[in-house]
A and B are shown apart, each in its own frame.
Chain A
């Protein structure tokens, strides 16, 4: 093969050889230059058409020289030189023109070629882009028939690429979405819109729905005049998942925000998880109180009756930490999944899952403060592999639910505590007043209102301020701080308080200040207890104790009195017996005169009689004091009694003068006539005994209110002031002066006092030494007598 440079050299040299040949022939033939000129011109034209301008011009210049040479060589042909020059000039002009023409032609050709090349490259790029696009692309006619699809489109739907060509985009959509796609096509076809977009589910050949964003764009008319449709299908599975996760989190939070407690929140939480994440059912496994195992507390069926059996089986199951899906999620504290349950040998509910067609399950822990408090299990009837985003989301949800449950527990405990306190406040038998910082009553519980017999308004306006005043007064007495000055000791104060119906109570007030968050006293709780019964009991107890003490001291006194009495009685008896024994001994020993014997016999008789009376009086007194003395009560005329007593006393009292000042209208009394005579006789005998000769004893009677008043006055020796308080006591005879010689048992006035008191009357004595004594006693009138007396006086 000849090298190109050689061929170029040949090609370049060829015109010059031709020109030389023509010149040689012309010279030989001595031909006219005009004859040779067309030949030269032909060479120049050929070169100009084929070669570049410079080469062509060089050939033209050589040809022009060749045209001029023969005339110059022939001296005689000088005239021909001019025409030869003209020819040479033509030659050069032609060469230039053709060269320029050729240059333009060549430039045009080059430009056209470049354009073709560029178009081809563009087409290649478009085709590559079409094929390599991450979205499914297709070209269709306006009826939606696909004319061309990229492989991505085919793989998206797991379909055969060639089979897709010729099918309709409508048929690719899930049945529910087909009408929407048809509408989109119609809108494009009618020219209403040039673009249309919608999210639809498309059908994969494996039957799985694929969420796709379907986009139609009408393409401008092509050369063929057929309008075309660009079909774009974008897989939005990931976006859908992200949306689902976002929606799920929102739903979970919605439930948490709107729920009052874990028990009510859990079912909607499970429902939200199933709905938004596409799980068939959910179960909430809760820790038992010992934290040893977990049991299902809530279940949610989002799929249908087939899963009821599975959920029912869950109700009876128990898991322990580390065992099975739930146990592993519990131990690990992380989201744990089982894509194929049939291969998970340790799954607790494997049998139930198989029967119910549950294929995948996922468990995530409910975490509270780093501790697993429960596990939520999600199951699916289809095989599912959770995405990372889902796992992250569920882990987050587990923490949020755990925190919520803690908050709900706390809130519920607070509510329960609040309810407890409310119940205590409402039902407490103790009155409770809720008092503000200014001492004002905020609320009084029913017990307090009931205790004070007030309604709420009266309690606020009057009863409570009264109680507060009583508190402060009582506190002041006890040197304690007043109510508003601060309740610090929690001590109690008892106050007297009136109720709405005018009863008076003893109330015990115990105040407790309740601090606000900063610790400053915010309000005060005052417990109000009705301690009236306690106080009264304690008062009665004190009275009883006093009485007991007095009784004890009385007993001691009685004991002393008894000893004294025995001593006195024995003294009286021994005194009387001294005479009896002594004189009877004298008589027994004999040697006495008969008048001596008679006199001594008289002494003996008198003392024996006195001993007898003493015994009689003592027995009488004992009967009276022990209440064994019976009275024979009749209607008694006191004046009659007085006259009888005078008549009995008269024989031994001739030395005194009796006077009487009796009220004839004195009503009848009820009493024991003999006893009353005994009384008057005793007093009269006393009067006579202590009166000097020629003295006067005056008996008087009159009505005094509902009593008959009797007075026995004498002009005797009187009773010394230190003795007058004791005259009614036993053996208290006045011994001074002349009284010493007066015999008596010393029990007479004591008996008199007893008889008067048995009749319901009183006896007392007035006396002045040397002027005499007055004994007064009263006896109640008979009721009818008293009434008639009242009528008379009216």
Chain B
């Protein structure tokens, strides 16, 4: 696993929206190690608030969260900031789910559980596109 992505990762903030503490920690640990800044939201409403106020470069969004779910949060965010890259990271990982998330406007889908390299490469590709 690459420890650092140099300039691409520098100043690139990822919002991790997940109600599961273990998932939050894992993502923070992995992404920070890769050089990204990480923001954490524990539910959908929080995710919308942080996304609109702190302008992360992208969002890693869980679906099954209390309050409004990840898809509703994504819809609200995309309404305000259509260009915001949002990757749905969900344990709903059936084939139909993937289609469903893409149709809802997701830029990419990461199925849980995931390989750490997959997480990095998805974030990296978006960071590269931004840069």
Residues of chain A touching chain B, judged by Cβ–Cβ distance below 8 Å, are 567, 570-575, 577-583, 585-586, 589, 603, 606-607, 735-737, 739-741
A575 and B66 contact, Cβ closer than 8 Å, known pairs A583-B26, A585-B115:
no
Tell whether, in the assembled complex, residue A740 and residue B113 are in contact, meaning their CB atoms are under 8 Å apart. Answer: no
| Additional A-B contact list (8), CB under 8 Å, known A581-B113, A581-B114, A740-B43 | A567-B94, A574-B113, A577-B113, A578-B20, A581-B115, A582-B30, A735-B66, A740-B66
Closest approach, in angstroms, between the C-beta of B89 and any C-beta of chain A?
9
Contact with A along B49-72 (1 / 0, CB 8 A): 000000000000000111100000
Residue of B nearest to A591 (CB): B3
Whether B66 pairs with A603 at a CB distance below 8 angstroms is: no
Task: Collect the chain A residues with CB atoms within 8 Å of residue B19's CB.
Answer: 735, 740
B25 within 8 A of A: yes
Are A578 and B23 in contact, CB atoms less than 8 angstroms apart? Answer: yes
Name the interface residues of B90-107: CB closer than 8 Å to any CB of A: 90-94
Residue pair A579, B22 in contact (C-beta under 8 Å): yes
Q: Is A571's CB under 8 angstroms from B22's CB?
A: no
In contact, A582 and B91 (Cβ under 8 angstroms): no
Distance to closest chain A CB from B109 (angstroms) = 13
A603 touches B22 (CB 8 A): yes
Q: Inside 8 A of B94's CB, which chain A residues have their CB?
A: 567, 570
12 A-B pairs within 8 Å (CB atoms) are namely A567-B92, A574-B111, A574-B113, A575-B64, A579-B20, A581-B113, A585-B115, A585-B116, A586-B29, A589-B1, A589-B116, A740-B42
Q: Which residue of A lies closest to B119 (CB)?
A: A582
Q: Is the CB of A736 within 8 A of B66?
A: yes
Query: Contact at A578–B66, with CB atoms within 8 Å?
Result: no
In the complex, A592→B11 CA distance in Å? 25
CB contacts (< 8 Å) of B21 on chain A: these are 741
Q: Is the CB of A570 within 8 A of B116?
A: no
CB of B22 within 8 A of CB of A574, answer no
- Determine which of A567, A574, A586, A737 lies in contact with B30 in the assembled complex, contact meaning CB atoms within 8 Å: A586
Set of chain B residues within 8 Å of A737, measured between Cβ atoms? 66
Q: Interface size for chain B: under 10, 10 to 19, 20 to 34, or 35 or more residues?
A: 20 to 34
Instruction: Please state if A570 and B23 are interface contacts (CB–CB under 8 Å).
Output: no
108-131 of chain B: CB within 8 A of chain A: 111-116
Instruction: Judge whether B64 and A580 touch: CB under 8 Å.
Output: no
Q: Bound state CA distance, A586 and B22, in angstroms?
A: 13
A736 CB contacts on chain B under 8 angstroms: 66-67
B-chain residues with CB within 8 Å of residue A578 when the two chains form the complex: 20, 22-23, 26, 91, 112-114
Nearest-CB distance from A637 to chain B (Å)?
40
Please report which residues of chain B, range 60-87, place their CB below 8 angstroms from some CB of chain A when the two chains form the complex. 64-67
Q: A570-B94, A574-B113, A582-B30 are in contact. Are A607 and B66 (CB under 8 A)?
A: no
Q: How far is the CA of A570 from the CA of B90 in the complex (A)?
A: 11
Chain A residues touching B, majority SS: helix
| Contact residues in A for B111 (Cβ distance below 8 Å) | 574
Q: A571 and B91: CB pair below 8 A? A: yes
Closest chain-A Cβ to B101's Cβ sits at a distance in Å of 14
Which of the listed residues B21, B65, B113 has the most CB atoms from chain A within 10 Å of its own CB?
Answer: B113
Note all chain B residues with C-beta closer than 8 A to A589.
Answer: 1, 116
CB contacts (< 8 Å) of B116 on chain A: these are 582, 585-586, 589
B91 CB, nearest partner CB in chain A, Å: 4
Residues of B within 8 A of A579 (CB): 20, 22-23, 26
Residues of A within 8 A of B90 (CB): 571
In the complex, residue of chain B having the shortest beta-carbon distance to the beta carbon of A733: B66
Give the residues in chain B near A567, CB-CB below 8 Å: 92, 94
CA distance A607 to B113 in the complex (A): 12
A233–chain B nearest beta-carbon distance, Å? 137
Chain A residues whose C-beta falls within 8 Å of the C-beta of B43 in the assembled complex: 740
Selected contact of A582 from candidates B42, B64, B113, CB within 8 Å: B113
CA distance A603 to B22 in the complex (A): 7
A373 to chain B, nearest CB (A): 93
Q: From residue B103, how far is it (CB to closest CB) to chain A in Å?
A: 17
Q: Which residues of A contact B30 (CB under 8 A)?
A: 582, 586
Q: Is A603's CB under 8 angstroms from B112's CB?
A: no
The answer to whether A570 and B112 touch across the interface, beta carbons within 8 angstroms, is no
Closest to B89 in A: A578
Residue of A nearest to B69 (CB): A735
CB-based contact B26/A582 at 8 Å: yes
Min CB distance B16 to A, Å, is 12
CB distance from B26 to the nearest CB of A (A): 4
A residues within 8 A CB of B20?
A: 575, 578-579
Question: Min CB distance, A599 to chain B, in Å?
Answer: 9
The reply to whether B93 and A580 contact each other, CB–CB distance below 8 Å, is no
CA distance A580 to B91 in the complex (A): 13
Chain A minimum-CB-distance residue to B20: A575
* A571/B92 contact (C-beta < 8 A), A578-B112, A582-B26, A586-B116 known: yes
Contacts of B92 in A (CB 8 A): 567, 570-571
Q: Could you say which residues of chain B place their CB within 8 Å of the CB of A570? A: 91-94
Residues of chain B within 8 A (CB-CB) of A571 are 64, 90-92
Q: Give Cα distance in the complex from A740 to B44, angstroms.
A: 12
| Closest partner residue, chain B, to A738 (CB atom) | B66
The CA-CA distance from A735 to B43 in the complex, in Å, is: 10
Q: How far is the CA of A735 from the CA of B42 in the complex (A)?
A: 11
Q: Could you tell me if A574 and B93 are in contact, using CB atoms closer than 8 angstroms?
A: yes
Bound form: Cα–Cα A741–B18 in Å: 11
Q: How far is the CA of A589 from the CA of B93 in the complex (A)?
A: 25
Q: Which residues of B contact A583 (CB under 8 A)?
A: 22, 26
